[in-house]
Amino acid sequence: MGGSTGCKDETAARRVLADLEKRSEHVRAGLMSAAEDAVIDHQAIPLIDHLEAYFNYLQNKRVNGRRVSGHHVVNIRHNLSRITGECKFTRLSHLARPPVEAWLDQRDAEGMAARTRNAHLAAIVAFGNWCVQTHRLVANPFNRMAKANEKMDPRRKRRALTEEELVRLLDVARRRPLLDAMTIRRGARKGQAVAKVGIETRRRLEELGWERALIYKTLVLTGLRKGELASLTVGQLDLDAADGRIPHAVLNPEDEKNGMGSDIPLREDLAADLRAWLARKLNEAHDDACRKGEPVPSHLPPDLHVFNVPEGLIRIFDLDLVAAGLAKRIKKDGKWVIDKRDDRGRSIDVHALRHTFGTHLSKGGVAPRTAQAAMRHSTIELTMNTYTDPRLLDVACALNVLPALPLHDTGNERPRATGTDALAPHLAPALAPTADSAGQLRTTVGSTTEAGEAPNGSSRRAVTRDVDKSSAPLASEDNGGQKKRATRLELATFSLEG
């Protein structure tokens, strides 16, 4: 008897059996539905157990044959744990709409962004739906709760960085670790970078700065999110550009926001920087093995992360912005804070580097559909409206491609009364590209000038832009101290086919 009811005491077991028989009679009599009867069994189970079952369900859930992103599950766990904990829900029977509404109102008063409030609401609504589907609840108590209006909450607006700002940011990021260590903090020489630094410490800080600058550059030239970049390992990089191959990084489905997985094209100068960076790491592994008397490795482990993306990257990025003159320290409510807003209230953060990627693609004349593919967006509206900063788009220059429409007598022969041949020179713009057009777009494939077959027979396309090769933005130094060929930011967006 104890095995069927879970009771060790016979009296208690008989009481439980009597209750089960009574519920069964109610179901047969139509006084209670089978679903309502199943719900009763879950009421005594702690809510935390139901939540863990839900998180396990999400980790194994598949959408269109693909697992749900691990980052999505982490976010759902955080939001659900917070809202259920602060609303003091400990049983399924405690789940109710009024406490959640009060919690959201309180977060609104505290300044929580509308998008964040909606994320918490969406998490608990989805949990309620799952409870109904698994017969833990008869109905979802959070259905039809109103969402906050995200369009009326502009606090999350970001702006893109200009090319000149990017160059300053990368330069500061590369030099600041060593400069901070050399700067005197107290006394008569406060603020002077004259402190002595040991040779090994100097080498370590210089390498840290080089890695930090390369992290920023990779984010700008690939559009990767911070978490996606942090997930990349050595085995996910294909940096071999021989035989017309396109260097690229393979992003695993579980590490991508949409859970699909992607091949991320790498511009040649970025691929060269990454090759130099991995060569540095291999040299370090050699030196470390020699010091320990261990076998010297011939290559880096494929599961080694390419970058050590620190948890405090957001704070580090803010300090780099201040050092680059792109943000300032101000005193607010008696505390020093970093103000990163421009005159329109838009700010710069790590994710703004992804906005910068999208904006410069558009500024460089990349077709919207190609930019959408590069950004890995589900809709072209997201690429064009959210991730394109209109302030960096040269709209005035773009107007020059429109046809000339003179309203005065040009002295040419007047058009005939019939036919439209004479109107063609005025109304039809010259759409075909010309070699002397400044900023003219061209299509380049391998060593040819036509889109189509590359030398190795694979089909690939690249959209690029004629630029002044004498300028040198976003240049990095290789291991030997030689500067790589400078390349402008508005460069090729590739798509891998086949």
Asked if residue 462 belongs to a domain, the reply is: yes
Quick one: which of 437, 494, 439 has its CA closest to 466? 439
Say what the pLDDT of residue 332 is.
82
Q: Looking at residues 102-114, what average pLDDT do you find?
A: 91
Q: What is the CATH number of the domain that holds 243?
A: 1.10.443.10
Residue 24 has pLDDT above 70, yes or no: no
Last residue of a domain, one of 154, 189, 224: 154
Cα–Cα distance measured from residue 139 to residue 132, given in angstroms and rounded to the nearest whole number:
6
Amino acid 213 reads: A
Cα–Cα distance measured from residue 405 to residue 426, given in angstroms and rounded to the nearest whole number:
6
Q: Is this model's pTM higher than 0.75 or not?
A: no
Q: For residue 146, what are its two tokens?
A: 């109103």
Last residue of a domain, one of 154, 180, 202: 154
Residue 387 has pLDDT above 90, yes or no: no
Asked if residue 1 belongs to a domain, the reply is: no
Residues 277 and 351 occupy one common structural domain? yes
What b/e string do you get for 243-260 counting C-beta neighbours within 10 Å, with b at 16 or more? Answer: eeebbbbebeebbbeebe
Last residue of a domain, one of 134, 154, 174: 154
Cα–Cα distance measured from residue 74 to residue 59, given in angstroms and rounded to the nearest whole number:
10
Asked if residue 415 belongs to a domain, the reply is: no
Asked if residue 227 belongs to a domain, the reply is: yes
Residues 290 and 302 occupy one common structural domain? yes
Asked if residue 429 belongs to a domain, the reply is: no
Q: What is the CATH number of the domain that holds 125?
A: 1.10.150
Cα–Cα distance measured from residue 361 to residue 441, given in angstroms and rounded to the nearest whole number:
12
Residues 110 and 211 occupy one common structural domain? no
Residue 452 DSSP SS3: strand
Asked if residue 105 belongs to a domain, the reply is: yes
Residues 221 and 169 occupy one common structural domain? yes
Residues 72 and 206 occupy one common structural domain? no
Structural domain that includes position 87: 33-154
Q: Looking at residues 285-304, what average pLDDT do you find?
A: 91
pLDDT, tens digit (0-9, with 9 covering 90-100), for 111-160: 888 889 999 999 999 999 999 999 888 889 999 999 988 877 756 688 89
Q: For residue 292, what are its two tokens?
A: 């320990």
What b/e string do you get for 336-367 counting C-beta neighbours within 10 Å, with b at 16 or more? Answer: eebebeeeeebbbebebbbbbbbbbbbbbebe
Quick one: which of 262, 248, 257 has its CA closest to 227? 257
Residues 45 and 86 occupy one common structural domain? yes
Residues 199 and 129 occupy one common structural domain? no
Asked if residue 15 belongs to a domain, the reply is: no
Say what the pLDDT of residue 325 is.
93
User: Helices (DSSP H) in 134-189: which residue ranges?
Assistant: 163-182
Whether 269 contacts 252, CB under 8 Å: no
Residues 384 and 239 occupy one common structural domain? yes
Say what the pLDDT of residue 245 is.
79
Residues 187 and 292 occupy one common structural domain? yes
Asked if residue 21 belongs to a domain, the reply is: no
**Lowest mean pLDDT segment, chosen from 87-91, 376-380, 448-452:** 448-452
Half-sphere exposure of residue 275: CA atoms within 13 angstroms, side-chain side: 15
Residues 164 and 268 occupy one common structural domain? yes
Total domain count for the chain? 2
Whether 290 contacts 219, CB under 8 Å: no
Residues 198 and 259 occupy one common structural domain? yes
Residues 358 and 486 occupy one common structural domain? yes
Quick one: which of 155, 156, 166 has its CA closest to 363? 166
Cα–Cα distance measured from residue 373 to residue 378, given in angstroms and rounded to the nearest whole number:
9
